[in-house]
Structure 1
Amino acid sequence: MMELKRIAGVGMLMGMVWLGTGTSVRSQEVSIEAATMEEELLQVEALADSTVPERVVRERLAKLQNEIPLRYHKVTHQFVEYFIYKKPDFVRRMLEQMNLFFPLYEQTLEKYGMPRELKFLSLIESGLNPRIISYAGAGGLWQFMPATGREYGMHQDDYIDERFDPVKSTDAACRYLKRLYNAFGDWEMALAAYNVGPGNVKRAMRRSGSSTFWGIYNFLPKQTRHYVPQFVAITYMMHYHADHGIFPETPEFPTVSDTVHISGYFNLHTFAKLGGITLEELYKLNPKLVNTELPVHTKNCVVRLPLHCFHYLAENRQMIWDSASKSSVTPVPALASTAGELSGSEEGTAETDEGTDLKKVYHTVRSGETLAKIAKRYRVSAVELKKWNSLHSNSIQRGKRLVVYRESPAPDRLAAAPAKTKANAKIKIRYHRVQSGDTLSTIAERYGIDVSRLKKINRLRGNMVRKGQKLLVG
C-alpha cells in the first residue's frame, strides 16, 4: 500500500501551504509567517528552562489517559510550553473552530470503534483547515497524499478534490488509522506511521530491534520524533488551556444549511453573485470545490448552501440556474472532436456556433516557461491548456509540444469590425479583491500572469496578501 505522506514538516505548526479559492489544487503559496521547519524545531528544543512544573504536566497527562498512551517526555513538556508561550493564538483558534468538526470526528470515530482522542490529531495535521495543502502535496483536514486519497475513494480533478471534503476525508482517515493500528498493534506506532508511512516505521524497527515508538525514536526522521509528543501536547492543551490563560474569544459553529444537486456546466461565481451569497461562504461550506466552475460532465454534484439564502433561491431559481449554467467558452469535448481533422497541419480552424473560428496552433515549451506564461501569451486559461493536452499537473518539460486553441473572429465578422485607432482604443485595467484563502500564486494563475509580475505591479515585497486587499492584475 502507498504511504500516506512524505514528511513535509510536523503538521500545521511546522509549515503548511494554503489552498486558494477558485483555482486548481496545484496552485500553492506559503502562508505561515512562522520560521522554517528546522528553526521551529530548534525553538522547541531551546525551551530548556521549564516554567510549568514537571509534576503538574505528569499528573494531568495521567488523568487524561484513555486508550492512546499519553506518556510524559521531555520533548512533550517542551511542546506544552511551546503552545503556551509561542503559539497561544494557534490554541485559541483551535478552541474557536473545534465545534465545526469535532461532532463529525466523534461520530465517525465511534462508528469505527476508534479512540475519541484521535480527533486532536487533525489539529496537528491541518489546523482544522479543510483546504490546506502541505509542501509535499498532502491535502485536507487529515492530509492525504493524492495517490492515497484515490486509494481511499476520494475523487480529485481540477474542479473537485474530495480530500478536502470533511465527511469523506474523516471516514478515510479513520479507516487508514485503524489499518495502521491493526498492523502495528500500538497506537503510538500507528501515529508515527500516519506521519512518515508504515514502510519507514518498519525500517526503523529493523534498525533498532524495537517494536515501540520510544524504542525506535532515535531511528526515525527528526520530524516524526516530534510528531507523537506534539499530539500529546495539543491533547493536553485542549483540556488545560484555561489553566494557562488561553480562552476562545469568538467560537464558531456550523452554518445551518441544505443541499442542491448540480449536473452539467455550472459557474459558481455567477451563482454566488446572483444567489446573494459570497464565494467565501460557498467554499467554506463546500471545501471540495477547487475552481470557480463545474465542468459539462458534472453529474449529480452535491453542493451545500446556507439556509438563509434558500427562500431567495427558490423564488428566483430559474433565472439564477439559467445564468449559472451558461458557458462562455466552447466545451472541450467539441474541440476534441475536430482535433483529428486538424492533426496533419501546424494550424487549423474549427468553426463554432457563435460565428468565430477556433484556430489550432502548436507551441513548443522553452526553458523557463510555465503554463501560466504560455496561457497568457495565447490569451487562454491554464486549465484549458491542461485539458487540451491531457496534462494532470502544472509541470511541463522543455521541448514538449502543446496544442493551443485560440478564438478569432470569423472572416465575415472580421471584415465588418471597425479598426481600432489610438483615438478610440481603451486600456482595460483589471483588479482583484483578495478573498479568504487567496494566495499570490492562485491569483496569478487565475489571471494568467506570473507571481513575480503580480508582485512587481503591486509593489509587493513579500508573498503575503490580506483579505480585502485590492490588487492590480492586468
Structure 2
Amino acid sequence: MRALILSFLLLILGADARLSAQENSGVQGQLPRDTIQVVDTLVTAVNQGDFSSVEFATVTKDSVIFDLKDDPLASKMDSLWLSELSNNTLYEELYTTITDLDYEPVEYEELPTELLKERLKAIDAKTPFNVEYNPQLESVIKYYLKNRRRSMGKLMARSNYYFPMFEEALNRHEIPLELKYLAIVESALDPTAKSRVGATGLWQFMFTTGKIYGLDVSSYVDERSDPLMATEAACKYLKSLYNSFEDWDLALAAYNSGPGNVSKAIRRSGGYTNYWNIRNNLPRETAGYLPSFLATMYLFEYAEEHGFKPTLPSTPYIATDTIKVKQLITLEQVSRYTNVPVEQLQFLNPSYFLGIIPVVKDENYVLRLPVQAVGPFVANEDAIYGLATQEIAQREKPLPQFVAQDAKIRYRVRSGDYLGKIAKKYGVRVSQIRRWNNLRGDNLRVGQRLTIYPRNPGRSRASSTTTTQTNSQGAKVYTVKQGDSLWSIAQKFPGVSVENIKSWNDISGTALKPGMKLKVSKG
C-alpha cells in the first residue's frame, strides 16, 4: 500500500512512476520529509477508513484541494462576472419589454428602412420562419437597438455557453436552429428564471407541462432549471406544436400561450392562419412574442454590424463535463474540495436550487464541472466522499433527508427584517430566498410569508453561538471550526463577503484549517 501511494505521488509530481516496491524504498531517502509524512498519513487513513487527519491542501497539484495563489483583483472580477451571469434582473427587463411594446415608430438613423428590408430578406432566405418586413417589426428592432445595448452584451456572453448545447439538441430533433433565440425571449438565458405564474427555467416550463415532458420537481431538484433536460423537453414540445399547426410562427405562439389560445385566435380572425393576421386576437404578451423573437434573431445575426460584443467573459460549454454523483454532496463542499468558486458551480448546476446534489434510486443526478476540475475530482472521489460524509456527520443537525417533512418552513416577516438578515438566520443565500418565493427585488412587507428551506432544519444559525475576539487593531477575529468555509463564515457576519475576508487576511485561496484565526472586520 505504501509503495502504491508513493508511486501515485511521484506520478503527480512528474517523477517516474514505474517504480517497484524495492525502488520506492530506495528513493524515499531522496524525497522531502513532508512528502514522506503525507505518504504515512495517507496509508493510515486508507487502512483505518478515516480521512480526518489528511491535509490535502499540502499534497500536490492533483489533490482534492490545491491552494493555488491568485491575483485578488482578477479573483474579484471573476466573482463579479459569475454573479452577473446568474443575475435575474436581465430576465425582468426583457419580460417587461415584451408585455409593454407599443409599436410606435422609432428613429434610428444607423439602420435605414431599406437596409433593414434587405437584411430581413436575407434572414428569411435561410430560415423557415416568416421574416417579412412590416412597420411593427421595424419598430421593435429599432427599439431594441436603442435600448438593449447593455443587455445584448450580457446575452451574448451567456449565449456563448448555452447556444452550442441548444444547437446540438435542435439539430438532433431536426427542427430549426434559430429556435435557440427563443430561450432569450423566454428567460434571457437564465436557467433559474421564474415568471409571475410559476413558469421556470431557460424554456419556462409550467409545472404540469414540465411533468408531461419528463421534468420532475422534488425537494432538492427542479429539472425545469436543468439546461440539458429542459432543452430536450423544449425540443419535443416545439416539434409536437409544429406537427399540430404546420407553421413555426404559430408553433411559437402556441408555446407561449397554449395551443387553445392560438386555435381561438384563428377562429376569431375568420380563419386566417398567418401569425400577423391573427395577432390582434392573441393575448397581449403573445402578440409581442413573435416580434420579440424575430427582433432578437436580427440583433444576433447582425451583431457585428451594430457593434455588439460580449461584455463579460463566458464559460464555453465544451470546456465542461459531468460526473454522476455517488452520494449526497453539497456544491459548497465541492467548491472547497476542488477550488472551483461556488458561484461558478451554481451557474453550471442551476437545477440544484438548495445547493445539494442528492442520490436517489433510479435518478441520474450529475455534477457539472469545468473540465480541468473533472480529473482531480474523479482521481480523489473516494477521499472527497469520505470527507463529505464526515463533515455531514459532525454537524449538529444533518442535512434534511430527501422529501423530509421538515425540509421547508413558512417564515413570517417581522418589523426590521430584510432578506440578508433572514438568509443569515437560516444559513441560506438571498438569491435562494428570491427564487423560492418568486421575488423581483429586495422589498419585504411586515406579515409577508416566505418559504424557506433552511440549511439546518430546526436550528437557525442565529441561535448558534459565533465566538469572536477583538485584536489589538480593533478587528474581530474568528476561529475556524471543522466544516467551515469562507462562504459559510461570511454568512455569520452581516455585510461581510468572501472577498472581504480574503482581503483582510491577505489570502487568495479557499483552503482553511480548524483553529486558523481570521479577521472578520476591517479594524
TM-score range, shorter chain: 0.5 to 0.7
Per-residue deviation, residues 337-366 of structure 1 (Å, max 9, x unmatched): 9x9xxxxxxxxxxxxxxxxxxxxxxx9998
Q: Where does structure 2 lack aligned partners over 5 or more consecutive residues?
A: 1-81, 430-435, 439-446, 450-455, 461-466, 468-475, 479-484, 502-519
- Residue matched to 1:308: 372
In structure 2, how many angstroms separate the alpha carbons of the residues matched to 1:116 and 1:285?
23
**Amino acid in the other structure paired with 1:127:** A
Whether 1:275 aligns to 2:338 is yes
* Secondary structure of 1:133 counterpart: coil
* CA separation of 1:153 and 1:236: change in aligned 2, threshold 3 A: same
Computed over aligned residues only, the root mean square deviation of the Cα atoms, in angstroms, reads: 5.0
TM-score, normalising length from structure 1?
Answer: 0.63
* CA separation of 1:467 and 1:50: change in aligned 2, threshold 3 A: farther
In structure 2, how many angstroms separate the alpha carbons of the residues matched to 1:121 and 1:35?
12
In structure 1, how many angstroms separate the alpha carbons of the residues matched to 2:158 and 2:88?
23
* Secondary structure of 1:304 counterpart: strand
Identical residues among aligned pairs (%): 31
**CA apart distance, 1:317:** 3.5
* CA separation of 1:382 and 1:188: change in aligned 2, threshold 3 A: same
- Residue matched to 1:108: 169
In structure 1, how many angstroms separate the alpha carbons of the residues matched to 2:122 and 2:144?
20
Whether 1:47 aligns to 2:121 is no
Per-residue deviation, residues 27-84 of structure 1 (Å, max 9, x unmatched): x975668498379735753626776222211111111112111121212111211221
Q: 2:387 aligns with which of 323, 335, 342?
A: 323
Q: Where does structure 1 lack aligned partners over 5 or more consecutive residues?
A: 1-19, 22-27, 340-362, 384-392, 399-403, 409-419, 421-426, 436-442, 449-453, 459-465
In structure 2, how many angstroms separate the alpha carbons of the residues matched to 1:32 and 1:122?
11
In structure 2, how many angstroms separate the alpha carbons of the residues matched to 1:191 and 1:169?
16
**Amino acid in the other structure paired with 2:264:** R
Spell out the pairing of 1:217-296 with structure 2 (5 A cutoff).
217-248=279-310, 252=314, 253-254=316-317, 256-295=319-358
- Residue matched to 2:18: none
In structure 2, how many angstroms separate the alpha carbons of the residues matched to 1:334 and 1:254?
30
- Residue matched to 2:211: 150
* CA separation of 1:183 and 1:133: change in aligned 2, threshold 3 A: same
* Secondary structure of 2:302 counterpart: helix
Spell out the pairing of 1:174-189 with structure 2 (5 A cutoff).
174-189=235-250
Per-residue deviation, residues 12-32 of structure 1 (Å, max 9, x unmatched): xxxxxxxx99xxxxxx97566
Given that residues 155 and 161 in structure 1 are in contact (C-alpha distance below 8 angstroms), is that contact kept between their aligned partners in structure 2?
yes
Given that residues 162 and 288 in structure 1 are in contact (C-alpha distance below 8 angstroms), is that contact kept between their aligned partners in structure 2?
yes
Whether 1:192 aligns to 2:253 is yes
* CA separation of 1:313 and 1:70: change in aligned 2, threshold 3 A: same
In structure 1, how many angstroms separate the alpha carbons of the residues matched to 2:237 and 2:190?
20
Residues paired across the two proteins, number: 374
* Secondary structure of 1:139 counterpart: coil
Whether 1:206 aligns to 2:267 is yes
Given that residues 75 and 226 in structure 1 are in contact (C-alpha distance below 8 angstroms), is that contact kept between their aligned partners in structure 2?
no
- Residue matched to 2:184: 123
In structure 2, how many angstroms separate the alpha carbons of the residues matched to 1:310 and 1:63?
43
* Secondary structure of 1:242 counterpart: coil
TM-score, normalising length from structure 2?
Answer: 0.58
- Residue matched to 1:167: 228
- Residue matched to 1:5: none
Mean CA deviation greater in 83-92 or 187-196: 83-92
**CA apart distance, 1:323:** 2.2
More strand by share: 1
**CA apart distance, 1:176:** 0.8
* Secondary structure of 1:71 counterpart: coil
* Secondary structure of 2:369 counterpart: strand
**CA apart distance, 1:269:** 1.0
Q: 1:139 aligns with which of 170, 193, 200?
A: 200
**Amino acid in the other structure paired with 1:47:** V
In structure 1, how many angstroms separate the alpha carbons of the residues matched to 2:402 and 2:172?
46
Given that residues 112 and 174 in structure 1 are in contact (C-alpha distance below 8 angstroms), is that contact kept between their aligned partners in structure 2?
yes
**Amino acid in the other structure paired with 1:292:** G
Spell out the pairing of 1:389-408 with structure 2 (5 A cutoff).
406=458
**CA apart distance, 1:245:** 2.7
Given that residues 193 and 200 in structure 1 are in contact (C-alpha distance below 8 angstroms), is that contact kept between their aligned partners in structure 2?
yes
* CA separation of 1:47 and 1:381: change in aligned 2, threshold 3 A: same
* Secondary structure of 1:303 counterpart: strand
In structure 2, how many angstroms separate the alpha carbons of the residues matched to 1:244 and 1:364?
49
Given that residues 98 and 285 in structure 2 are in contact (C-alpha distance below 8 angstroms), is that contact kept between their aligned partners in structure 1?
no
Mean CA deviation greater in 38-47 or 237-246: 38-47
In structure 1, how many angstroms separate the alpha carbons of the residues matched to 2:317 and 2:410?
49
**Amino acid in the other structure paired with 1:324:** A
**CA apart distance, 1:87:** 0.5
